């Protein structure tokens, strides 16, 4: 049984929680995690001017944005750092300028329009720019980059792993206030995030739907109109929500519209020894739609599959976590490697394999299968991780265990009967916690 101090899986026909809808809708593009309203966070002024960047450590909050806590590349007295830091904090060596960073100043050209699967964009006019969006999908999102966006990625992210292993427990303790008792809003296992790549824009506009499960409309139609740089507006109605943000000065306050990084989890033994146990009632739920987002099958199944809050145990609260593939992958790594101290999942494991997949149960099952086919599990020095397969791979025993576990985790078929069986197995595995001691041992 997987160790449950992680967010808890819950299948649903749909969840209209806006940050979750936005991030999982754009996840299919393979650019990383898309925060909803990413710039509106309290942080040091120097960090606000720099924007989210490589080396930032935090966690994805329930508002869908990265909650910045500190940066591993800068000394404790640097203006980018907050007033309070982890007790054992020392920046990683060497400094950031000596690491290899891949930069693409024009990763997204000016005027880029990104849409989730099932959303069609039609340009009605060029001057002024007017774009109509139309979709029959159950949910979706749009991201417009009028001035484009740049990209930067740390090339050597595996070189961070030893440092992460040495400090991950202290970081989790720090984010949970070094308390002997669970905090009101605990940072749960599998959510600590170290940024290794960002896509930054000086201006963006975004939209999502639905905003309310009872206001869903088909087709969903809305417009974006750009008369000039100071007059960019959305023409929307329920159930669509839109947002825009622009830098006050060119190059100032850049917004990270996509984040990539390394997500970290502690082993069961390390967590129970160092972190105050989190009651099941406080663990957040994350939702994955259990039916397709498009097509007649989606409409038919919506009448027979329960919604997100219709079948929850009394022990669970409806607090919502934001889904990230690493939540699943980290639990798999620790299940297969119980002796590892920590597990890490780099976003470059799953991003290239998204291939337009929507974040629904059956498609995530296929994503896991693709990862099986592409990577081996290689625990090195106590760090469980995925590595690219080689023709000389000798990890047959671990591979076989991993495949057997995944076959139980997800069934391969997406037909109605077996899909429901898979949902029940997945919910049982991830939703029913192991007994947790009342105090750290």
pLDDT of residue 177: 95
| Arithmetic mean of pLDDT, 5-33 | 88
| pLDDT higher than threshold 70 for residue 396 | no
Alpha-carbon separation of residue 64 from 21, 95, 106 (angstroms): 10, 30, 26
Question: For residue 311, what pLDDT band results from cuts at 50, 70 and 90?
Answer: very low
- Residue 233 pairs with which residues in a beta bridge? 225
Nearest to 302 by CA among 11, 5, 14: 14
Task: Give the residue with greater pLDDT, 301 vs 49.
Answer: 49
Q: Say which residue, 377 or 299, is predicted with more confidence.
A: 377
β-sheet with 203-209: strand ranges across = 112-115, 140-145, 203-209, 241-246
Name the residue with higher pLDDT: 106 or 41: 106
Percentage above 70 pLDDT, the chain: 78
Helices 361-374 and 396-409 pack at an angle, to 10 degrees, of 170
pLDDT at res. 399? 53
Element (H, E) at 48: helix 45-50
Q: What percent of the chain has pLDDT over 90?
A: 49
Q: What are phi and psi of 98, to 5 degrees?
A: -95, 0
pLDDT at 344 over 90: yes
Cβ-contact 371, 386 below 8 angstroms:
yes
Q: Which residue has the higher pLDDT, 110 or 372?
A: 110
What integer pLDDT is reported at residue 288 of this predicted model? 85
Checking if the pLDDT of 140 tops 70, the result is yes
Identify any residues that bridge with 291 across adjacent strands, giving them in sequence order: none
Is the pLDDT reported for residue 97 higher than 60? Answer: yes
94 token code pair: 């060497």
What's the rounded mean pLDDT across residues 259-271?
A: 96
Report whether pLDDT(297) > 90. Answer: no
CA 183 distance to own-chain centroid: 22
Cα distances from 13 to residues 139, 304, 311, in angstroms, run: 11, 9, 12
Give one word for 111, left, alpha or beta, with left for phi > 0 and alpha for psi -120 to 50: left
Identify the CA nearest to 347 among candidates 361, 326, 378: 326
The pLDDT value given to residue 229: 67
Instruction: Place 126 in a pLDDT band, splitting at 50, 70 and 90.
Output: confident
Rounded-to-integer distance, Cα 205 and Cα 195, Å? 23
**Residue 213, number of CB atoms within 10 A of its CB:** 18
pLDDT-based confidence at 373, cuts 50/70/90? confident
Residue 162 is predicted with a pLDDT of: 97
Task: Give the number of other Cβ atoms within 10 Å of residue 161's Cβ.
Answer: 21
Contact between residue 258 and residue 221 where contact means Cβ atoms under 8 Å apart: no
Question: Residue 318 has what pLDDT?
Answer: 44
pLDDT in tens, 192-245: 999 999 999 999 999 999 887 666 667 899 999 987 767 788 998 878 998 877
Q: Name the most confidently modeled range: 62-66, 197-201, 289-293, 389-393.
A: 197-201
pLDDT value for 236: 87
- Please give the pLDDT value at position 393: 55
> What is the pLDDT of the chain when averaged over all its residues?
82
The better pLDDT of the pair 173, 226 is held by: 173
3-state SS of 399-430? HHHHHHHHHHHCCCCCCHHHHHHHHHHHHHHH
Section 314-343 average pLDDT: 81
More confident residue, 81 or 427: 81
pLDDT class of 186 with cuts at 50, 70, 90: very high
Please check whether residue 168 is in contact with residue 342, taking contact to mean a CB–CB distance below 8 angstroms.
yes
Rounded distance between C-alpha atoms, residue 389 and residue 189, angstroms: 27
CB 362 within 8 A of CB 297: no
Q: Is the pLDDT of residue 317 over 60?
A: no
Lowest average pLDDT, out of 94-98, 122-126, 147-151, 382-386, goes to: 122-126
What CA–CA distance (Å, rounded) separates 273 from 266? 10
SS3 88: coil
Cβ atoms of 56 and 195 within 8 Å: the answer is: yes
What is residue 253's predicted lDDT score, i.e. its pLDDT? 58
Q: State mean pLDDT over 345-357.
A: 94
Question: Mean of the pLDDT values across residues 183-188?
Answer: 89
pLDDT for the residue 392: 59
Say yes or no to pLDDT of 419 above 50. no
φ, ψ of residue 147 in degrees (nearest 5): -110, 10
Comparing 63 with 85, the larger pLDDT belongs to 85
CA 217 to centroid of chain Cα atoms: 27
């Amino acid at each position: 049984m997987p160790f449950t101090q992680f967010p808890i899986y819950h299948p649903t026909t749909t969840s209209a929680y806006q940050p979750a809808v936005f991030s999982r809708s754009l996840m299919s593009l393979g650019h990383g995690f898309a925060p909803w309203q990413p710039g509106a966070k309290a942080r040091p002024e120097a960090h606000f001017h720099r924007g989210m960047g490589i080396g930032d450590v935090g966690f994805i909050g329930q508002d869908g944005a990265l909650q910045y806590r500190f940066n591993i590349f800068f000394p404790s007295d640097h203006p980018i750092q907050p007033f309070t830091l982890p007790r054992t904090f020392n920046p990683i060596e060497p400094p950031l300028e000596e690491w290899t960073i891949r930069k693409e100043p024009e990763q997204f050209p000016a005027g880029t329009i990104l849409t989730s699967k099932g959303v069609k964009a039609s340009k009605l006019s060029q001057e002024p720019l007017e774009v109509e969006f139309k979709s029959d999908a159950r949910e979706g999102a749009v991201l417009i980059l009028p001035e484009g966006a740049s990209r930067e990625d740390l090339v050597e992210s595996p070189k961070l792993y030893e440092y992460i292993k040495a400090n991950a427990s202290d970081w989790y303790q720090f984010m949970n206030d070094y308390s002997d008792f669970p905090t009101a809003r605990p940072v749960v296992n599998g959510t600590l995030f170290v940024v290794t790549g960002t896509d930054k824009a000086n201006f963006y506009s975004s939209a999502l739907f639905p905003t309310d499960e009872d206001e869903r409309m088909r087709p969903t139609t809305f417009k974006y109109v750009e008369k000039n740089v100071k007059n960019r507006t959305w023409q929307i109605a329920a159930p669509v929500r839109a947002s825009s943000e622009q830098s006050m000065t060119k190059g100032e306050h850049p917004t990270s519209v996509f984040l990539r990084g390394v997500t970290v989890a502690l082993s069961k033994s390390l967590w129970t020894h160092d972190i105050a146990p989190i009651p099941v009632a406080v663990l957040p739920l994350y939702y994955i739609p259990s039916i397709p987002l498009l097509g007649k099958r989606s409409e038919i199944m919506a009448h027979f599959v329960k919604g997100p809050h219709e079948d929850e145990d009394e022990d669970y609260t409806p607090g919502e976590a934001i889904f990230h593939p690493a939540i699943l992958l980290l639990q798999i790594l620790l299940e297969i490697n119980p002796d590892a101290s920590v597990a890490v999942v780099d976003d470059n494991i799953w991003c290239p394999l998204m291939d337009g997949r929507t974040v629904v149960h059956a498609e995530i099952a296929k994503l896991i299968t693709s990862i099986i086919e592409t990577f081996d599990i290689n625990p090195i020095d106590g760090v469980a991780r995925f590595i690219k397969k080689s023709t000389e791979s000798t990890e047959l025993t671990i591979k076989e265990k991993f495949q057997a576990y995944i076959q139980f985790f997800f069934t391969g078929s997406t037909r109605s009967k077996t899909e429901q069986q898979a949902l029940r197995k997945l919910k049982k595995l991830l939703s029913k916690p192991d007994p947790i001691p009342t105090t750290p041992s």
